[in-house]
Amino acid sequence: MAAIRSLIALLIIPFLFSSPVSSKPWVDDVKQWCSQTPYPQPCEYFLSHKPASKITCKADFLKLSLELALERALNGQQNTRSLGPKCRNTREKAAWEDCLELYENTINKLNKTVEPKCSQTDAQTWLSTALTNLVTCVVGFYELGVPDYLVPLLSNNVTMLLSNTLSLNNGPATPPSSKDGFPTWVKPGDRKLLQTASPAAQANVVVAKDGSGKYATVSAAVNAAPKSGGRYVIYVKAGVYNENVQIKGSNIMLVGDGIGRTIITGSRSVGGGSTTFNSATVAATGDGFIARDITIRNTAGPTNHQAVALRSGSDLSVFYRCSFEGYQDTLYVYSNRQFYRECDIYGTVDFVFGNAAAVLQNCNLYARNPPQRTITYTAQGRTDPNQNTGIVIHNSRITGASDFKSSGVKVYLGRPWQKYSRTVIMKTSIDGFLNPAGWMEWSGTFALDTLFYAEYLNTGPGSSTANRVNWKGYHVITSASEASGFTVGSFIAGNSWIPATGVPFTAGL
């Protein structure tokens, strides 16, 4: 995996820029402001070539930096489109198609970020997502063995400019208001929907294998959903639906008949020629997605490498009483803000991973029998210290599946996929088969000083921190006030958007 980090480094190591020779006040002004960013060279170069605009305060500079990042992202999207004819086989095309989708999503997020009504919290979330998208583009090229000469064409300095804007926007945050981050699609009846005994009673459409619904496949119902409007509820009757589902529309909700009864299953994998990103059985990118009482599986098996059951890049998404079943990379908490309640997650390697701001509460994480004899529950992927992302596991259970045999297996809570990996486990029951060190290196000393791994008041035979790793980035939290920063109420501002969904949650510790 060292090679993948070297490719990602191409995105964040500054290229050589020709410094402007002019000594005009505008250029001097730009240099002064750009010196405050992580990557001053591209900042100076590109801003100095823009029409002069007075920078009187940090807000002016942030606005210009956001506009510049958007401008370069549009240029990067154009460059990416031009690579299409160069794709020589299906693997290259698969990675290229991912990048097209990822650039489109990046531009969508940046357009929302430059709007005057965008809050600081939203901006940090969407900028974090934009940066994650471009790193994911590169990862896909690596996974499928695409020549790395294509990668610099895709970077286009956007990643450095995004890191600059993340740094500039990461000032003292204003406390979330009652409307900050609140999903505008929620209607008063939505809460009653989740509490009703019969999901079919208030569903917009029904999916059924036996022909008793309007649609026979989940994809058909999702693709027919309105492009805009209020919550659109799709009731999926009990049955096994063998399909890969992409949920791009906003405000869509899938309701099943329960874990193990309504099952969506697929088998894409990196071993089978997909990228990790595109291997998901269900991929949700439209904002405000909700799933309840459904099992989502990837049956590629333990030897086909990365094979995702669910990938969520849906902002303000909620998963309630769902099961996610796979082996390596089962649950891809890809980006944006996500909440999981009373869910089951099964896997072997890095089976909760990604770079969202995600909280898993009252969930069960089940280890399965791994062919490689090592279990890693998490692999969080923060690449920039200013991204407001991380995986939080709260009031949950870290244990083994019913047939798990722990003898001879090394079991760890997680390992640092990226340099600023952040994972916090709080008030969670940890089984006794956990390796006393608790956490595993990714490769040598990589990220051990820059990650943030923490534990707080966990219980169970594996919860003792007496023999945990002594990395600089590992912490045993003893203060309730510090731990509170990773609660639903603080970390994902859940009080402002989860109540309207009707899903139960604990806002604090």
Q: How confident is the model over 55-73, as pLDDT tens digits?
A: 888 998 999 999 999 999 9
Cα end-to-end span (Å), the chain: 36
Provide the pLDDT for residue 410. 97
Q: Determine whether 329 is an active site residue.
A: yes
Does the pLDDT value for residue 348 go beyond 80? yes
Catalytic residue among 98, 287, 293, 329: 329
Cβ neighbors of 24 (< 8 A, separation 6 or more) are: 52
Residue 97 vs residues 100, 122, 330, 375: alpha-carbon distances, Å: 5, 27, 22, 32
HSE-CB at 300 with a 13 A cutoff on CA atoms is 28
139 falls in which pLDDT band (50, 70, 90)? confident
Nearest to 358 by CA among 387, 327, 321: 387
pLDDT tens-digit readout, 33-56: 999 999 999 999 888 877 766 788
Name residue, tokens 């989940």. Answer: 218
Does the pLDDT value for residue 181 go beyond 50? no
Residue 62 vs residues 37, 72, 161, 283: alpha-carbon distances, Å: 11, 15, 11, 33
Q: What is the mean pLDDT of the chain?
A: 89
Catalytic residue among 29, 190, 350, 384: 350
Strand order in the sheet with 282-284: 245-247, 282-284, 310-312, 331-333, 349-354, 374-380, 410-414
| Type and span of the H or E element at 360 | strand 357-361
Does the pLDDT value for residue 281 go beyond 90? yes
172 falls in which pLDDT band (50, 70, 90)? low
487 falls in which pLDDT band (50, 70, 90)? very high
DSSP β-bridge partners for residue 254:
234, 291
Provide the pLDDT for residue 10. 46
Provide the pLDDT for residue 155. 57
Provide the pLDDT for residue 146. 73
Q: What's the rounded mean pLDDT across residues 475-480?
A: 97
Q: Which of 84-98, 121-135, 177-191, 422-436 is predicted least confidently?
A: 177-191
147 falls in which pLDDT band (50, 70, 90)? low
pTM of the model: 0.92
